[in-house]
């Protein structure tokens, strides 16, 4: 019985998260030279980063290919007032623990069945993040979950040493909701089950997703809904010592940490998209909380120039 790491790791996993300042250089790397010019953003990427934190050593791409009009619409060639960010190829997205946490958080709030790339992307509210980015990450994340399921329900050896390879380090930085691993066919006794169809219907309105999340932002229970598809029932694994209801509540939803999008010193959030009404940003409850006191709001991959 060695669960001494249980209460320890989750208290440290948020400490290891780089400070919000680390996000700035990350975002800058996602700005293409063309985009920087278009937005009049000086490429003076100063790295005031003397911190011992493992900053994402994302090498800046030397150059980018010409804006290839792969849109199939030659008419888009003249993108005078159009956003170049849409046509230009962006550098590879680096999934930092912060981003991954938001990802897991969004998936946890939506539920496995509603956790589709588009919805996840919208809930994450990370400007610049594309559906493709989320889809790719989601694919890998599912493989990771599947791997864990196999190990946990292996039954062959409880002494399964959690040999976390470097590949799992990213995923290990964020707590995995228990219902991700344990497939409970039933447990549909949630009042939020009714919102599920709403989410499906909301896909025409982006703001709905935010509203849903805001509604259930504090309720963390097994949100399961019977799906109409013919998904085989997964044998519910017996109560393995993998699921902890306790830490989930604390890890995902920190009590008293309702950080709404308030007045901040950094107004780097530019919302070119049809900004949702009051509901926008209201659901931002639990951002990564630096132990040193570093809470931020909506993440953005496109920070304006620093003062």
Partner DNA sequence: ACAAGAATAT
Partner DNA sequence: GATATTCTTG
Q: Could you tell me which stretch among 31-39, 163-171, 250-258, 287-295 binds DNA (CB under 7 A)?
A: 163-171
Residue 137 makes contact with DNA by CB under 7 A: yes
Smallest distance from the beta carbon of 220 to DNA, in angstroms? 22
State yes or no: residue 142 binds DNA (CB under 7 A).
yes
| Least separation in angstroms between CB 238 and DNA | 25
Nearest to 32 by CA among 87, 97, 81, 98: 87
Task: Tell me which stretch binds DNA (CB under 7 A): 117-125, 177-185, 263-271, 298-306.
Answer: 117-125
Q: What gap in Å lies between CA 197 and CA 294, rounded to an integer?
A: 36
| Minimum distance of DNA from residue 90's CB (angstroms) | 7
Residue 59, sorted as left (phi over 0), alpha (psi -120 to 50) or beta, turns out to be beta
Count of residues touching DNA (by CB under 7 A): 24
Site string for DNA, 54-93 (x = CB under 7 A): -----------------------------------xx-xx
User: What minimum distance in Å lies between the beta carbon of 100 and DNA?
Assistant: 8
Kindly state whether residue 248 participates in binding DNA, applying the rule CB under 7 A.
no
- The conformational region for residue 279 under phi > 0 = left, psi -120 to 50 = alpha, else beta, is alpha
Give the span between the Cα atoms of 296 and 20, in whole angstroms: 7
Reduced to 3 states (helix: H, G, I; strand: E, B; else coil), residue 134 is helix
Q: Which of 36, 38, 55, 135 binds DNA (CB under 7 A)?
A: 135
Long-range CB contacts (within 8 A, 24+) of 261-267: 261/297, 261/298, 262/297, 264/296, 264/297, 266/296, 266/303, 267/304
How many other CB atoms are there within 10 angstroms of residue 31's CB atom? 24
- The nearer residue to DNA, 92 or 258, going by C-beta atoms, is 92
Residue holding tokens 């400070």? 19
227 touches DNA (CB under 7 A): no
Complex with DNA: residue 170 or 284, whichever CB lies closer: 170
Using rule CB under 7 A, residue 183 touches DNA = no
11-17-18-21 Cα dihedral, nearest 10 degrees: -90
Segment interacting with DNA, rule: CB under 7 A, options 20-28, 115-123, 174-182, 253-261: 115-123
Closest to DNA by CB, 253 or 301 = 301
Residue of 5, 15, 132, 306 interacting with DNA (CB under 7 A): 132
H and E: helices and strands count for the chain? 11, 2
CA 196 to chain centre: 20
Inter-residue contact 18 to 68 (CB < 8 Å): no
Contact 251, 10 (CB under 8 A): yes
Site string for DNA, 187-206 (x = CB under 7 A): ----------------x---
Cβ at position 235, least distance to DNA in Å: 19
Chain positions contacting DNA, by CB under 7 A: 89-90, 92-95, 116-119, 131-133, 135-140, 142, 166-167, 170, 203
């Amino acid at each position: 019985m060695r669960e001494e790491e249980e209460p320890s790791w989750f208290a440290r996993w948020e400490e290891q998260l780089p400070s919000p300042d680390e996000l700035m250089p990350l975002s800058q790397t996602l700005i293409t030279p063309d985009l920087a010019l278009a937005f009049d953003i000086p490429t003076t990427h100063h790295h005031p980063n003397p911190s011992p934190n493992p900053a994402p050593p994302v090498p800046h791409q030397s150059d980018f290919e010409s804006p290839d009009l792969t849109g199939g619409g030659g008419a888009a060639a003249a993108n005078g007032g159009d956003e170049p960010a849409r046509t230009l190829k962006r550098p590879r997205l680096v999934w930092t623990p912060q981003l991954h946490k938001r990802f897991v958080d969004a998936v946890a709030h939506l539920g496995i069945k509603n956790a589709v790339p588009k919805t996840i992307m919208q809930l994450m509210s990370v400007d610049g993040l594309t559906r493709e980015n989320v889809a790719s990450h989601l694919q890998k994340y599912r493989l990771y979950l599947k791997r864990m399921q196999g190990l946990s329900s292996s039954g062959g050896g409880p002494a399964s040493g959690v040999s976390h390879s470097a590949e799992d380090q990213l995923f290990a930085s964020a707590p995995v909701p228990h219902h991700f691993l344990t497939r409970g066919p039933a447990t549909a006794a949630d009042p939020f089950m009714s919102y599920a169809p709403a989410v499906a219907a909301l896909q025409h309105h982006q703001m709905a997703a935010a509203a849903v999340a805001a509604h259930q932002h504090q309720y963390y229970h097994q949100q399961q809904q019977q799906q109409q598809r013919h998904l085989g029932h997964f044998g519910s694994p017996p109560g393995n010592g993998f699921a902890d209801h306790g830490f989930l509540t604390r890890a995902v939803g920190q009590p008293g940490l309702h950080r709404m999008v308030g007045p901040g010193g950094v107004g780097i959030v530019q919302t070119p998209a049809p900004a949702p009404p009051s509901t926008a940003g209201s659901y931002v409850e639990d951002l990564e909380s630096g132990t040193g006191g570093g809470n931020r709001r909506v993440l953005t991959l496109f920070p304006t120039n620093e003062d």
